[in-house]
C-alpha cells in the first residue's frame, strides 16, 4: 500500500510537522528544508529530529519527501545564484542527516537561455558536489519532473535521464513524478497512463521512481503552465488521478498533495486518496 500526505509548514520544527500530519490523517509529508523564497537556514535541532523519527516509526509513516527551496537553481547563468545552489543543497543534505532514510526533492532548474546542453552538466555537478560532501548520506536526492514553464529543465524524461547519467553515486538519485507537471509537459496521464509509465520505464526506469506529487491541473495537457488544482477539480480529473494512485507500478510510493488547500481540504483529499488505495 502507498502512503499519502501533503506539504506542511516547517515553521514549528520537525516534530510539529509530524504531529500536524498525523492530525490530518496522513502517513507521509513534504516540507521545505529552508524558506522556499529566501536563503538563510535555521539551525536544526537534533533532539527535535529524533522526536520526529520516533513518531514516524510509531505510526508507520512512509518516507518523507523534503523539498529544496524554489530559489535553488543549479543551472543559473548568474554565479551568485549558482553558488547559492551548491551551498544550499550541501547544507540541506547535511541537515537531512538528522532524518536518515528520507527523500530530498528539487527542481532541476531553469537554464535561462543557455540551453539544456549546458544546464544538464551544471545540474549534475551541483548534485555530485552535495553527495560528495555527505559521503555517508542516507538521503536519496530526487529530480522532480517539470511542467516546462519558461526555461525549466526536466520537462522530458530524456532530460532527467541525461542528468542521472552524470551522477557519480547513481544509487543516491531518483525521480519524483508530479502529476500536474507531467500533464502540463504533454504526457497524457488521463488518456494513456500505461503508455506514459511505459515511456518512463524505457527512458528512466520505474525502479528510480521514488515519490509522486499528486495534483490536479488548472490547464490542459501540454499547456506548460504549472498551476496546481484540487483533486478532481481540474483538467486531469478524479478518475485519472484514482488510476494513478491505484496503478500497480506506483502503489507502494509516497503520494504528496501540493493542491491549493487549507487543513480541511487536505484532510478531505487524504481521506479520499486513502479510500482509493483501500479499494
Ligand atoms: Fe516542486
Ligand atoms: Fe511538485
Ligand atoms: Zn508545480
pLDDT (mean) for 25-47: 87
How far, in Å, from the CA of 144 to the mean position of ligand 1? 6
| Three-state secondary structure readout of 4-65 | EEEECCCCCCHHHHHHHHHHHCCCCCEEECCCCCCCCCCCCCHHHHHHHHHHHHHCCCCCCE
Residue 159 lies in a domain: yes
pLDDT at 52 over 70: yes
What integer best gives the mean pLDDT of the chain?
A: 97
Query: What's the CATH number where 185 sits?
Result: 3.20.20.150
| pLDDT, position 39 | 63
Residue 265 lies in a domain: no
Q: Is 106 helix (H, G, I), strand (E, B) or coil?
A: strand
pLDDT (mean) for 215-241: 98
Q: Distance between CA 15 and CA 45 in Å, rounded?
A: 10
Residue 278 lies in a domain: no
How far, in Å, from the CA of 142 to the mean position of ligand 3? 15
| pLDDT, position 117 | 97
Share of the chain above pLDDT 90, in %: 95
| pLDDT, position 43 | 80
Residue 262 lies in a domain: no
Q: Distance between CA 2 and CA 259 in Å, rounded?
A: 18
| pLDDT, position 157 | 99
| pLDDT, position 8 | 97
pLDDT (mean) for 128-156: 97
- Ion ligand 1: residues, CB within 5 A, are 144
Burial classification of residue 202, based on how many CB atoms lie within 10 Å of its CB (0-12 exposed, 13-18 middle, 19 or more buried): exposed
pLDDT at 21 over 90: yes
pLDDT (mean) for 33-56: 88
pLDDT at 225 over 70: yes
Give the strands of the sheet with 103-106, arranged side by side: 3-6, 254-257, 209-214, 173-178, 140-144, 103-106, 65-67, 30-32
Residue 181 lies in a domain: yes
Residue 128 lies in a domain: yes
| pLDDT, position 42 | 75
Number of domains in the chain: 1
Q: Distance between CA 13 and CA 74 in Å, rounded?
A: 26
For helices 157-164 and 193-203, the axis angle rounded to 10 degrees is 20
How far, in Å, from the CA of 180 to the mean position of ligand 3? 7
Q: Does the predicted TM-score (pTM) go above 0.95?
A: yes
Residue 260 lies in a domain: no
pLDDT at 135 over 70: yes
Record the cell numbers describing residue 37, joined without a space: 523564497
pLDDT at 41 over 90: no
pLDDT (mean) for 32-41: 79
pLDDT at 40 over 90: no
- Ion ligand 3: residues, CB within 5 A, are 226
* Per-residue b or e along 84-108, where b marks 16 or more CB atoms closer than 10 Å to that residue's CB: bbbbbbbbbbbbbebbeebbbbbbb
| pLDDT, position 35 | 84
How far, in Å, from the CA of 160 to the mean position of ligand 3? 16
How far, in Å, from the CA of 103 to the mean position of ligand 2? 13
User: In which domain, by residue range, is 124 found?
Assistant: 3-254
Residues sharing a CB contact under 8 Å with residue 229, sequence separation 6 or more, in sequence order: 180, 215, 216, 217, 218, 235, 259, 260
Record the cell numbers describing residue 82, joined without a space: 549558482
Give the pLDDT confidence of 89-116 residue by residue, as tens digits: 999 999 999 999 999 999 999 999 999 9
Residue 200 has, within 13 A of its CA and on its CB side, a CA count of 26
How far, in Å, from the CA of 106 to the mean position of ligand 1? 7
Q: Do 26 and 63 contact (CB within 8 A), yes or no? A: no
- Between the alpha carbon of residue 82 and those of residues 122, 190, 256, the distances in Å are 9, 36, 28
Residue 151 lies in a domain: yes
Q: Do 259 and 216 contact (CB within 8 A), yes or no? A: yes
Residue 142 sits at the vertex; the CA angle it makes with 39 and 180, to the nearest 5 degrees, is 90
Amino acid at each position: 500500500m502507498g502512503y499519502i500526505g501533503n506539504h506542511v509548514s516547517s515553521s514549528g520544527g520537525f516534530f510539529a510537522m509530524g504531529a500536524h500530519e498525523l492530525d490530518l490523517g496522513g502517513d507521509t509529508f513534504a516540507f521545505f528544508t529552508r524558506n522556499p523564497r529566501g536563503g538563510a537556514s535555521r539551525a536544526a535541532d537534533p533532539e527535535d529530529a529524533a522526536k520526529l523519527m520516533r513518531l514516524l516509526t510509531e505510526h508507520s509513516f512512509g518516507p518523507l519527501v523534503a523539498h529544496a527551496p524554489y530559489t535553488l537553481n543549479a543551472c543559473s547563468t548568474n554565479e551568485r545564484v549558482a553558488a547559492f545552489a551548491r551551498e544550499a543543497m550541501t547544507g540541506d543534505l547535511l541537515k537531512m542527516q538528522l532524518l536518515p532514510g528520507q527523500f530530498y526533492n528539487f527542481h532541476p532548474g531553469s537554464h535561462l537561455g543557455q540551453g539544456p546542453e549546458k544546464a544538464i552538466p551544471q545540474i549534475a555537478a551541483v548534485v555530485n558536489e552535495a553527495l560528495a560532501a555527505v559521503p555517508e548520506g542516507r538521503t536519496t536526492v530526487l529530480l522532480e519532473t517539470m511542467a516546462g514553464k519558461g526555461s525549466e529543465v526536466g520537462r522530458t524524461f530524456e532530460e532527467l535521464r541525461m542528468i542521472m547519467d552524470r551522477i557519480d553515486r547513481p544509487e543516491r538519485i531518483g525521480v519524483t513524478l508530479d502529476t500536474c507537471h507531467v500533464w502540463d509537459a504533454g504526457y497524457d496521464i488521463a488518456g494513456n497512463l500505461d503508455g506514459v509509465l511505459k515511456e518512463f520505464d524505457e527512458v528512466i526506469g520505474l525502479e528510480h521512481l521514488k515519490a509522486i506529487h499528486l495534483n490536479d491541473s488548472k490547464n490542459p495537457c501540454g499547456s506548460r503552465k504549472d498551476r496546481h488544482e484540487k483533486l478532481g477539480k481540474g483538467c486531469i480529473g478524479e478518475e485519472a488521478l484514482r488510476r494513478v494512485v491505484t496503478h500497480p507500478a506506483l502503489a507502494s510510493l509516497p503520494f504528496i498533495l501540493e493542491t491549493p488547500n487549507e487543513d480541511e481540504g487536505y484532510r478531505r483529499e487524504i481521506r479520499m486518496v486513502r479510500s482509493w488505495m483501500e479499494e
